[in-house]
Structure 1
Amino acid sequence: MAGVTVLVVQHKPVEGPYRLGQALVRAGRALDVRRTYLGDPVPADASSLSGVVVMGGPMAAYSDEGFASRTAELALLEDALDRSVPVLGICLGAQLLAVASGGSAVPGHGLEVGWGDVELTEAAASDELLGSLPTRLRTLHWHGDTVVLPPQAAHLARSAAYENQAFRVGAAAWGLQPHLELDRAGVDAFCTEFADEAPGPLGEEIRERAPEAVAALAGVAEVVFGRFAALCR
């Protein structure tokens, strides 16, 4: 459905769009989910799309090793940026957006996994996606890589562990490192799938805090993803 379709690139079964997908469907957007772990192809360009979403995954945005679709995803993101098609990259997707826009993705100084605060910057106050949100949010982090932003990017959020937690490139392309999209089922799926990164007490703590933390983020997720869905028209 040309012009009203949002393409979703999904790298792992557990790394689905969750609340983001629900917001897009509520806004009447048709979703074209490309499950790269099943071999679904990634389109060569964004000419028929009203939005592009790239989800997370355990691969590295800076290496083709174990990441067969990386080159195609970067080409799609570059084309979407050129056409001003709205883009939202989450975790790995944010790292790919940084690379596609002239920045880079790099190994971090350690894993950032679990519930933790992000602080919105002054630039976020006037941002079309993050404007008017509380300046401090408790979100779920699950990454070990980070990004170096291109010079033209707007820096929107940081955490104590990593400076670049959210950014915007151009007028309508965002990268979000934290997982605002996860509902309780998604959190549980992450804890099961990536148990080696959240062993023992850490995994138990993530699960125990999930009901309260997910509920507290529900309004924020609705605002952020609703705004993005409105742009995809």
Structure 2
Amino acid sequence: MRALVLMHDHATEPGLIGARLCEHGYDLTTVTVVPEDRYHSPDVSFDFPDAEGWDLIVSLGAPWSVYDETAIGSWIGGELALLRKAHHLGVPVLGVCFGAQALATALGGSVEAAPRPEIGWTRIDTDDASLIPDGPWFQWHYDRCVLPPGATEVARNAVCAQAFRTGRSLGVQFHPEITTDVVRRYLHLGGGKQCVRHGVDPEELLAHSRAMEPVARDNARRLVDGFLHRVGGAD
């Protein structure tokens, strides 16, 4: 089984999601849209693979906004076209944070600024804990999805929809793939200053993320298993 993983930047990795997919027998092909030397100027040219021929597509997070045409207008249209075609072909998509926002936009929804950012580990309200556990989940976002027509919201909190399903695809606003190493990279790439601006202690966030590793691993396994068997495998 072949899974396409869209990494939008060098800092974000498939992490715990990728590990669980490999345990299920998936062969991961990872592509990176914005190379490391263009992290602060992401208006690159990128040719996305075709949606056909994949058994699964994962679209990961990114530090940019889906609607920021100045920053990513050179390539976001290509990703939206890929996700839209995957949906029409019945190829399951798992969208994570930015990936969920891109999925929503591709299918007729939109993305808007959230009333406040979410940075850190939070619990959510879920309609189906066997598919979307209530967490705690790692969050780092400033935007939120406006769900596309026909999508079903599965989880939420006071800030935004936290998970939705549409067809054979699932979008989650939080980061089930997160590892301590990736949190460290986020902090190094300017996230530390963002934390301070929003009243979050970067060192405490890193320490908390390290302590959460066993819980994060278990939650990621449950989410991936639920996605594969109950969403992506649905007729």
TM-score (norm 1): 0.86
* Pairing partner for 2:3 from 6, 22, 30: 6
* Pairing partner for 1:98 from 99, 104, 107: 104
Check the 8 A contact 1:34/1:40 in 2, yes or no: no
* Equivalent runs, 1:78-89 vs 2, <5 Å: 78-89=84-95
- Report the number of matched residues: 218
Q: Distance in 1 between matches of 2:156 and 2:178?
A: 19
* Pairing partner for 1:196 from 193, 196, 206: 193
1:54 aligns to 2:59 (yes or no)? yes
Q: Distance in 1 between matches of 2:200 and 2:151?
A: 37
Q: Distance in 1 between matches of 2:111 and 2:200?
A: 30
* Equivalent runs, 1:1-233 vs 2, <5 Å: 4-38=1-35, 41-43=47-49, 45-67=50-72, 68-121=74-127, 124=128, 130-131=130-131, 134=133, 136-160=134-158, 162-170=159-167, 172-193=168-189, 194-199=191-196, 201-228=200-227, 231=232
- State the Cα deviation string for residues 77-97 of structure 1 (Å, max 9, x = none): 000100110100101000001
Q: Distance in 2 between matches of 1:106 and 1:112?
A: 14
Q: Distance in 2 between matches of 1:214 and 1:40?
A: 34
Q: CA deviation at 1:150?
A: 1.8
3-state secondary structure, aligned to 1:185: helix
Deviates more, 1:27-36 or 1:77-86: 27-36
* Equivalent position amino acid for 2:155 in 1: A
* Equivalent position amino acid for 1:153 in 2: A
Check the 8 A contact 2:114/2:160 in 1, yes or no: no
Q: Distance in 1 between matches of 2:163 and 2:212?
A: 19
Q: Distance in 2 between matches of 1:14 and 1:229?
A: 26
Q: CA deviation at 1:101?
A: 1.2
Percent identity for Structure 1 against Structure 2: 31
3-state secondary structure, aligned to 1:20: helix
TM-score (norm 2): 0.85
Q: Which runs of 5+ in 2 are unaligned?
A: 36-44
The alpha-carbon distance between structure 1 residues 202 and 78, as it changes in their structure 2 partners (threshold 3 A), is same
* Equivalent position amino acid for 1:144 in 2: Y
Check the 8 A contact 1:29/1:229 in 2, yes or no: no
Q: Which runs of 5+ in 1 are unaligned?
A: none
Check the 8 A contact 2:119/2:200 in 1, yes or no: no
Give the alignment's Cα RMSD to 1 decimal.
1.9
Q: CA deviation at 1:63?
A: 3.0
The alpha-carbon distance between structure 1 residues 40 and 86, as it changes in their structure 2 partners (threshold 3 A), is same
